[in-house]
Structure 1
Amino acid sequence: MKVTTMTIVSRFVSLAIAAVEVPVSRTPPPLTSHLAAIGMLIAQRNASGDWRFSLRSHAIGAGESEDVLIAWASEAMPPVGIVIGWQLAQRIVPPLLDAGASGDPEICRAFLNRLSRLVTMPSVDLAVHHGGAGAGPLIAVAERHGIAVPELTVLDIESAWAFGNRSLLTSHVDGLAIASWRLWLAEANGAAGAVTAAFEQWMSRSQDGQADR
């Protein structure tokens, strides 16, 4: 049986995270982020112009080490790709770097190597044209295009992490990654018609259980 492989000519990674703020000392009470979930929508185009998509996510609960999450991410993150996200430098990358700054040295090293290779590629910060670091939440812009965005509050995320509701956390980051990708396509000034159609077909099959995550 002949096995065909897909030659990737472009790859995009819509990246999303969920994190909680935890105190590192009592007086004064500075806060540090504790990573709770990572989600990514990966879109790949081959030389023939065909698109493939996959959705990957993982979450941890209170009491679980961030090492569990970043070890998963070290395997799940593609080595190269154009990263897409909302306020990458303010909301997404810092908690990832914090998680990779402590813990098991080998796990952290592998994660930071993979992360640095990915985020040093060209990236698309969707917030740049909406105020950059001063932009409001993703939902405010996405709703103008009719794009649904998860509406978990900071307290919702904290509670899900505290009580080990991993499915809620993964659903949240999945939704953020999908919303970011859809927003990027919506703001492409009509140039993304083919990929938008391919993605929505994939989403329809995914909801019917016919496509792989």
Structure 2
Amino acid sequence: MTVSIIRFGGSNCDRDAERALEHLGIDAEIVWHEDGLPADTTGIVLPGGFSYGDYLRAGAMAARSPIMEEVREAAREGVPVLGVCNGAQIGCESGLTEGAFTTNESARFQCEHVYLRVERADTPWTEAYEEGEVIEVPIAHGEGRYEVDDDRLAELEDDDRVLFRYCDENGETGPDVNPNGSKHNVAGVLGDREAVAVLMPHPERATLPDVGPTDGQGVLEGLEKNA
């Protein structure tokens, strides 16, 4: 099993993801986007960063890289795909998931720890948690506000495709604990298949015990459980 972490021009969280996965005993390698997906790929990470300087829109240019057609095909075949931060933006821009991530309500870059409420515990990305459990994971983004039209959001919620919501330490949601203005406090969603997930917070930065909380481990373990 080898998880391919796709590096675009401007990616800067690929090494973080590689180290976090290796800490969990998951074989991972960084793949330059122009080289295509290795044949032995059993999982894919679209890492954080500022691909192509966020020109046009965050994630828009990377979403049009030829490798993303390979990623979409792999997702259709059931290969797990996880998009984190800029990777979440790329995932939305490439049609892997609904919605889009846009400028924070504060119009500022925000780097802080936040609380997330687990909305579903029956997916490979969340089975390490309990439904309603609150976990602590960092954010670091300027365009993390999740937006989707009301009808599609209703469909996402009806289909139980919302994975995480921003909340306080007691699991309560609302505008006061929404760091970027995301619609309905959404922090992470599933694609059409449960093997595809995108989220704005960084689980790979909450994995190594020597640098802080380890609440993000369960999300990354989904790359192995999905395979």
TM-score (norm 2): 0.25
More helix by share: 1
Q: Which of these two proteins has the greater Rg computed from alpha carbons?
A: 1
Taking CA–CA contacts closer than 8 Å with sequence separation of 6 or more, which of the two structures ends up with the larger relative contact order? 1
TM-score (norm 1): 0.26
